[in-house]
Structure 1
Amino acid sequence: MSRQLADVAIAVRRVVVMEDRAQVSRRGGVSLPAGDTRIRCDGVAPILADKTLQVRIHGAELPRIDDTRVVRREITTRAERSPDRRELETQIEALDKHRAELADRLAALDRESGVLHSIAKLGLEELAEDVSHGRFTDAQLLSLDPIMSRGRDSMARRVELDAEIAKLDLKKRQLQALRTQASSGDVELRASVEVDVRVPVAGEYEVIIDYVVPNACWRPEYVARLVSGPPPRLELASFGCVWQRTGEDWKNVELCFSTERPSLGTKPPILTDDVLYTQKKSPPVVEVREQRVFTAGLGGDTSISDAPLGIDDGGAVVALTAKVMVDVPSDGRPHRIPIFETVSESELSLVAMPELGLAAFEKSVQTNGSPYPLLAGPVDLVRSSGLVGRSSILFVAPKERFTLGFGPDPEIRVRRDVEAIEKSGLLGQSITKTLRAKIRLSNLGDQLRELVVEERVPVSEVPGVEIHVEEAMTTGATKPDELGFLRFVVKLGPFEKRTIELGYTIKRPAELQGL
């Protein structure tokens, strides 16, 4: 039985992007005659999963769908409207010549910068010598201004040249790709969806085509802007970073970001025999283990070994929709799509952890005021001066508090020194190790600063190993919490220096090895 062929253009309307795939929904109106018709929709992704193809047709009368299939074909074409090979070679040679000129100018700038650096170094050495002999004048200091100004101009020109050279390199790669395409045939894989239907009554019908494609994924990203003022507030913008190389462009689509994992499925656990063995008793060996302590809602940096491969959604499927209709081309590049924004008041404080870093960091504590959770992901930190760093957060539920660090305070200096003394007990049956840490703090600014210094002591999980914080050796007789952390609140006046001390002992039997 012959069927009438109807070539229709059904555009992509909605895409649900998951961790490693995407569900595409095409929707469009079609005018169908009565009888048997074959609907063909070209331009679908060639890599779509055939078993996920679903077609629905709605109208005044419900038509009967006899068959649906994906038809793929290879097409060998030459690049249309592209310049010939000789013209491309001429353009590439011109780019190489221009790049060589820029490289020569860059080398000249490097030589000029070296000379200016040497002159400035000699001038500063002479200035230091004159200051030591009491012959310093303001004119000597002003004499260095032209050199410094010229050095800044030279650095600015170097940045401009580097950017121009990068643009030329990109243009050259594009021309080389066009040259390769123009010199040989281009094999392209195309696909179309064909639907055989029987229409009872001619008229307008709505065709919906759904399918799943691989080569698409997304990850959450954030931009946190700290705004100073009474009170300070945090403006947090959530983005979805999308990559897709499916072979079809998504133009003006509604984009939804989901953490659903359809590939996991459900499998029963494998039951195996648990065989017990006896072992000869050996001397106990004690190991010092570094254990990361997590607190609910407090995000932090995650090492590569601890980072999950997918998206941490807190165990519940999360679906987020983009704020606007977007375009996502099939180029494999990242595209940042805005999802939502939230503003919340922040509590600012200075925190120093000398064991991890010799600096005092500005910490902001705020509440997730959005109705959506914050998924684990990287955060760009922005202040009034611009981008100040990049951090990350863990999963944060709605109305949950979380922290962010906005870099070190340049006016606070931190230094940490540790002394360790080990002594044997009576008859050598026990060993006592005394550790004493001194944290020196300096305020180089002209304002009063208050900061929290966090230190830690080991926590014993082995009988026979005793750890005690010596109050006489510890500033303020501070005691650790159940996790071994001690917190010292310090107020530093203008240009003031303070020293904090922490002392603790580790006592263990001599037969215990590993400490």
Structure 2
Amino acid sequence: MKITSTLLFVPLYSALSTTVYALSLSEAPIQQVTLYPNSAKIERSIPVKAGEHLVTLDGLPANFDISQLQYQTSNIDVNAVSHQDSALNKPAGQESHQLKNEIKLLETQISAQRAIIQAAELQNKFLTNLTTGSGTKVRNQAYDAFIAIDAATQQKKELEQRHRELQQDLNAIGDHQFNQRSLKFYVQAAQKGEIKISYIVPYARWQPIYKAELNSAQKQITLTRMAMLSQKTGEDWNNVKLVLSTAQPQGQVRQVTPEPWSVNYYEPTPIIRPAPVPMAAYAMTKERKSIEMDNTVEVEAAAPQFPEFEANELNYSAEFRTDTKTSLASSQQQIYLPLKTEQFPVALSVWVIPRQSPQATINAELSTLDNNWPSGMVKLYRDGDYIGQRAWNNSPDEKLNMNFGVDEQIQVKVVDLVDKKNMMGKTQAETLQKQQYVIQNLHNYPVQVSLFDAVPQSRQSQLSTQSSYSIKPSTTTWQGQPNINQWIIALAPQQKFQLQLEHLFKYPSKGHTSGF
């Protein structure tokens, strides 16, 4: 077997043999799809008969970069490759084909109702100008014409509404707008062989979705990995091998090189105050600005067999492969496939951050997960109840903390004792703040509470801070962040915990402060 891998594109020229072996997409089906977060790699096999000189593959959606087309050959040689795009016979998925056929049928029916209305109106116009004949007969004919107009108008209105709905569905898919692309391979085939091609298409994606179910009694989380798949590439993927990859192919890669760092200093420039603007000129300027603002346009930043995936950690990405073939239509549907379900023990605690929120939250801490868990959205359930969802960025260097909602049985009170500003001479001032945190466990069982309080940090040398607490914190850092105090408190049922804190701020009296 001879296998080559080349990439060559030349214009079509007549010196080659005109014997054409034309294939449809069903005769060169997709073998495997590697789905990336924002694109997909399509791999398909093109059979070549012995003695063929020109093999044509018709019906491809012209939505991929032709320069990125790659191919490998077996038992044959490829001399040249060309392509041609056409706006005729635009390809689309099966769902779009059905919608387009329904839309065409509706357009025919709407035209028929429009013709009925126009014919009846023409008849009434004729009857209006009629001066001879039976008056009763004329009235009956006019009555029948008006009935026909009303019925056709109502039917036309319903058909047009249905037409708008189907057109909206078709536009939501959007895969009916791609031109058709034909690939031509000029080959030397002494014997039967094949051409395996691959290319990257847009309008396809997958993203990880997680479901975290907390069993508070067993202190355990059931974490289910899922994949949301969707594609609008203009071609249905039928019975293909599916690979999910966290890699992100880039069309263009920029070489990053070291650059020099230049700094400069500029002498202060004198402030020149502008002359007063005359009232008339001021009014014109104000009106012009108003017009410019009005003209500003805001731009807004738009019973199947489910495969079982196995995770593979690569050097720079992760892949999820399955031996089960699957199908995914080019449509607006989103398919959710389960990847894997695992159970993890967790450390449960209640977090209290009085400076940020008066509510206590239930926190579950997991050990560090491996890189096979790409970042994504996680849906949170606590003892069977849905709590909400959050974005999760998996970091192998940090433990995973998940908030499972508010604990209403942990009462948090913040009592302001002192908040007073004093002048210290003519140029200095100070502000003294005293507070008390009161935390009470209303559960009928003991609870571990983690109380957090950040130490104020000055951004200017003129502002100094000093803080003291009635109880020494358990630690003064959190996940590598300094100046975040944490108290780990074991509260028995109905037990209270009280903490007094004092912050003193000193600063020049002429300036202004923020943050306290």
Same fold (TM over 0.5): yes
Partners of 2:207 and 2:427 in 1: CA distance: 57
Name the CA shift for 1:88/1:402 in 2 (closer, same or farther; >3 Å).
Answer: farther
In the TM superposition, what is the alpha-carbon distance from 1:488 to its structure 2 partner?
Answer: 2.6
The question of whether the paired residues in 1 share the 8 Å contact of 2:456 and 2:465 is answered with yes
In the TM superposition, what is the alpha-carbon distance from 1:486 to its structure 2 partner?
Answer: 2.2
Partners of 2:178 and 2:269 in 1: CA distance: 66
Find 2:53's aligned residue among 18, 29, 36.
36
Name the CA shift for 1:375/1:50 in 2 (closer, same or farther; >3 Å).
Answer: same
Which residue is equivalent to 1:416? 414
- Structure showing greater Rg: 2
Which amino acid is 2:349 matched to? S
Q: 1:123-202 counterparts in 2 under 5 A?
A: 176-177=165-166, 189=178, 191-202=180-191
Query: SS at 1:201's partner residue?
Result: coil
In the TM superposition, what is the alpha-carbon distance from 1:359 to its structure 2 partner?
Answer: 1.8
Which residue is equivalent to 2:364? 364
Partners of 2:406 and 2:498 in 1: CA distance: 19
Query: SS at 2:166's partner residue?
Result: helix
Partners of 1:477 and 1:57 in 2: CA distance: 69
The question of whether the paired residues in 2 share the 8 Å contact of 1:88 and 1:179 is answered with no
The question of whether the paired residues in 2 share the 8 Å contact of 1:224 and 1:381 is answered with yes
Name the CA shift for 1:191/1:499 in 2 (closer, same or farther; >3 Å).
Answer: same
Structure 2: 5+ residue runs without aligned partners? 1-16, 91-96, 111-160, 271-314
Q: 1:271-350 counterparts in 2 under 5 A?
A: 274-279=263-268, 317-323=316-322, 324-350=324-350
Which residue is equivalent to 1:67? 81
Structure 1: 5+ residue runs without aligned partners? 90-171, 282-315
Which residue is equivalent to 1:209? 197
Which residue is equivalent to 1:57? 73
Which residue is equivalent to 2:220? 233
Name the CA shift for 1:336/1:62 in 2 (closer, same or farther; >3 Å).
Answer: same
Residues 1:24 and 2:42 aligned together: yes
The question of whether the paired residues in 2 share the 8 Å contact of 1:373 and 1:396 is answered with no
Number of corresponding residues: 386
In the TM superposition, what is the alpha-carbon distance from 1:228 to its structure 2 partner?
Answer: 4.2
Residues 1:394 and 2:393 aligned together: yes
Question: 1:224-259: CA deviations, max 9, x gaps?
Answer: 2223455x3323223333343221122333132233
Partners of 1:65 and 1:342 in 2: CA distance: 52
The question of whether the paired residues in 1 share the 8 Å contact of 2:62 and 2:179 is answered with yes
The question of whether the paired residues in 2 share the 8 Å contact of 1:74 and 1:189 is answered with no
Name the CA shift for 1:273/1:501 in 2 (closer, same or farther; >3 Å).
Answer: closer
Find 2:468's aligned residue among 467, 470, 481.
470
Taking only aligned residues, the RMSD between alpha carbons, in angstroms, comes to 3.8
Query: SS at 1:470's partner residue?
Result: strand
Partners of 2:78 and 2:48 in 1: CA distance: 15
Residues 1:256 and 2:244 aligned together: yes
Which amino acid is 1:410 matched to? E
Name the CA shift for 1:483/1:13 in 2 (closer, same or farther; >3 Å).
Answer: same
Which residue is equivalent to 1:266? 254
Name the CA shift for 1:207/1:358 in 2 (closer, same or farther; >3 Å).
Answer: same
Which residue is equivalent to 1:168? none
In the TM superposition, what is the alpha-carbon distance from 1:381 to its structure 2 partner?
Answer: 1.0
Partners of 2:327 and 2:380 in 1: CA distance: 27
In the TM superposition, what is the alpha-carbon distance from 1:194 to its structure 2 partner?
Answer: 2.5
Partners of 2:168 and 2:466 in 1: CA distance: 74
Name the CA shift for 1:4/1:355 in 2 (closer, same or farther; >3 Å).
Answer: same
Partners of 2:63 and 2:317 in 1: CA distance: 26
Residues 1:407 and 2:421 aligned together: no
The question of whether the paired residues in 1 share the 8 Å contact of 2:206 and 2:244 is answered with no
Name the CA shift for 1:224/1:27 in 2 (closer, same or farther; >3 Å).
Answer: farther
Partners of 2:30 and 2:390 in 1: CA distance: 36
Which amino acid is 1:418 matched to? D
Partners of 2:474 and 2:426 in 1: CA distance: 31
The question of whether the paired residues in 1 share the 8 Å contact of 2:349 and 2:447 is answered with no
Name the CA shift for 1:68/1:256 in 2 (closer, same or farther; >3 Å).
Answer: farther
Question: 1:61-109: CA deviations, max 9, x gaps?
Answer: 33334323244342389955889549999xxxxxxxxxxxxxxxxxxxx
Find 1:247's aligned residue among 207, 224, 234.
234
Which amino acid is 1:75 matched to? N
Question: 1:434-472: CA deviations, max 9, x gaps?
Answer: 11222232333322223121112211343343322234x
The question of whether the paired residues in 1 share the 8 Å contact of 2:61 and 2:178 is answered with no
The question of whether the paired residues in 1 share the 8 Å contact of 2:377 and 2:392 is answered with yes
The question of whether the paired residues in 2 share the 8 Å contact of 1:75 and 1:187 is answered with no
Which residue is equivalent to 1:304? none
Partners of 2:392 and 2:357 in 1: CA distance: 19
Asked which structure has the greater RCO (Cα within 8 Å, sep 6+), the reply is 1
Partners of 2:265 and 2:109 in 1: CA distance: 74
Partners of 1:351 and 1:180 in 2: CA distance: 47
Which residue is equivalent to 1:433? 431
Which residue is equivalent to 2:505? 506
Name the CA shift for 1:280/1:504 in 2 (closer, same or farther; >3 Å).
Answer: farther
Q: Percent identity?
A: 16
Query: SS at 2:357's partner residue?
Result: coil
The question of whether the paired residues in 2 share the 8 Å contact of 1:346 and 1:365 is answered with yes
Partners of 1:216 and 1:195 in 2: CA distance: 25
Query: SS at 2:429's partner residue?
Result: strand
Query: SS at 2:433's partner residue?
Result: strand
In the TM superposition, what is the alpha-carbon distance from 1:19 to its structure 2 partner?
Answer: 4.2
The question of whether the paired residues in 1 share the 8 Å contact of 2:48 and 2:189 is answered with no
The question of whether the paired residues in 1 share the 8 Å contact of 2:226 and 2:338 is answered with yes
Question: 1:42-72: CA deviations, max 9, x gaps?
Answer: 44222121212223221xx333343232443
In the TM superposition, what is the alpha-carbon distance from 1:428 to its structure 2 partner?
Answer: 3.3
Partners of 2:248 and 2:213 in 1: CA distance: 30
Partners of 2:68 and 2:439 in 1: CA distance: 63
The question of whether the paired residues in 2 share the 8 Å contact of 1:19 and 1:259 is answered with yes
Partners of 1:248 and 1:206 in 2: CA distance: 22
Name the CA shift for 1:358/1:328 in 2 (closer, same or farther; >3 Å).
Answer: farther
